[in-house]
Amino acid sequence: MSLEIQTFVPSVKDSQIPLWLSRMAELGMLCEIYPAFSFVTHSGFVPFKLQIQDSAHPELNGVGFLTGFEYYISDFSLDAALEAKACKPSLLTGEFEEKSQQGVYASQEIDEQLKPCRKCLHFLWGSADLFELRMATVSAAVLAEITGGISFYPADGIWYERTSAAAKAVSEARDYENLVTSKDIPVHRFERWS
């Protein structure tokens, strides 16, 4: 089973990769991304070399690990999303949405942030690797921050405040990782890029 977080952005360029990795380092995550990665042409698993210093498991600190997440990019238009939403009948009533919700995708405040967005970045992770959650959620938040976008967790309908999402994602990931017992930690040491 995998989970997904989405980041809606006006645009994203490969020239922003160094800024992304620099911000991750500021958050305590020294990262290298697979050298051939491109936001536009890549689809599927994105490998990273990750080194952290904030684990409650001492054996994880200061070591390079291979981790990552699944990544996809799609086009986005608020107008098209509103049109699709208006055409969907409610699951409970079978009727189309009430007039009070017409013209609103998430909320008026969120919709204002979505208006300039033209792309949706999809980050998927599972439990096969301890650090996938950290990499996906923090990356989604950081990319929202540096592009002027916004992140969304569809499973719970949560929209994240851009200015605080990255630090919160690191804290939540660390809490999750620290709950795992040492003998059950699924990690992969980094060897080299293939």
Is the pLDDT at 106 greater than 90? The verdict is: yes
Is the pLDDT at 135 greater than 90? The verdict is: yes
Query: Tokens 């605080």 appear where?
Result: 164
Instruction: Tell me what pLDDT residue 181 has.
Output: 81
pLDDT tens-digit series, residues 43-63: 999 999 999 999 999 999 999
3-class secondary-structure state, position 160: strand
Instruction: Tell me what pLDDT residue 98 has.
Output: 46
94: its two tokens: 């079978």
Q: What is the DSSP letter of 181?
A: -
Number of Cβ atoms within 10 Å of the Cβ of 36 = 9
Arithmetic mean of pLDDT, 148-163 = 96
Torsion over CA: 152, 156, 157, 161 (sign): negative
- The set of residues, in sequence order, having a beta carbon less than 8 Å from that of 51 and lying 6+ positions away, is 29, 30, 31, 62, 63, 64, 65
Instruction: Tell me what pLDDT residue 87 has.
Output: 79
Cβ atoms of 88 and 70 closer than 8 Å = no
70: its two tokens: 């699944």
Q: How confident is the model at residue 33 (pLDDT cuts 50, 70, 90)?
A: very high
Q: How confident is the model at residue 70 (pLDDT cuts 50, 70, 90)?
A: very high
Arithmetic mean of pLDDT, 118-142 = 96
83: its two tokens: 């049109």
Domain boundaries along the sequence of the chain: 3-76+117-184
**pTM for the full predicted model:** 0.91
